[in-house]
Amino acid sequence: MPYTIWYRGELIGETDFEGQRSEIAPTHSEMDPAAREGRHLAGVFRPTTYGRQLLPRLCGIMSAAADLKEEVARRGLDPEDVPPDIMRRLFEGTPAGLHILDIGRVLSEVELRSPTGLTVVVASMGFMDIGELASLSRRLGCSRTTVNLDDLPPEAPEFLVSVTLQELTDSVYS
């Protein structure tokens, strides 16, 4: 049975987290500290029609981050040492920064549910469009990739989802 992904109470897609054990994802109702193992899950994301419409607001963070880094360089700033007030203005005043903020807003309302329907506690979640990854690797000159993303067969997955589970402490279970 797949994990399901919801936005504002509406199903946007599902994933099997291929190669992962389904029992490792902690939920609000689980009390077993052993469930804390396996903090990262990743798999093919199969969007619903509504999920496909929402994907432009869920994907693109790596391209937007690359755009933001280029903007920092255009302004003659060190990308590793941008003053917080300037960085805030870049996030609020550039298309790349606004896109990153929008992705964060949308993701803050996305919920992962286990195959049994229980909400899974996540620390972070990200969606990747394989086409975007191919475009970004060409743009950044990443010629050392082991897979040519432009030559994938038509039945290859279009989207991936990656989740880091929240570190649960004993106090969460009290």
Asked, for residue 114, whether it belongs to a domain, the answer is: yes
Asked, for residue 69, whether it belongs to a domain, the answer is: yes
Asked, for residue 58, whether it belongs to a domain, the answer is: yes
Asked, for residue 174, whether it belongs to a domain, the answer is: no
- CA 138 to CA 149: how far, in whole Å? 10
CB atoms inside a 10 Å sphere around CB 112? 22
Taking residues 127-152, report their average pLDDT: 72
CB atoms inside a 10 Å sphere around CB 119? 13
- pTM to 2 decimals? 0.76
For residue 2, what are its two tokens?
A: 């797949």
Asked, for residue 143, whether it belongs to a domain, the answer is: yes
Identity of residue 109: E
DSSP string of 64-93, one letter each residue: HHHHHHHHHHHTT--TTS--HHHHHHHHHH
Partnered with residue 44 across adjacent β-strands are 160
- What is the tens place of the pLDDT at every residue in 15-48? 999 855 544 444 444 433 334 445 889 999 999 9
- What is the tens place of the pLDDT at every residue in 80-104? 999 999 999 999 999 999 999 999 9
* 77 or 135, higher pLDDT: 77
Asked, for residue 13, whether it belongs to a domain, the answer is: yes
Domain count, the chain: 1
Q: Which range marks the domain in which residue 53 is found?
A: 3-29+37-168
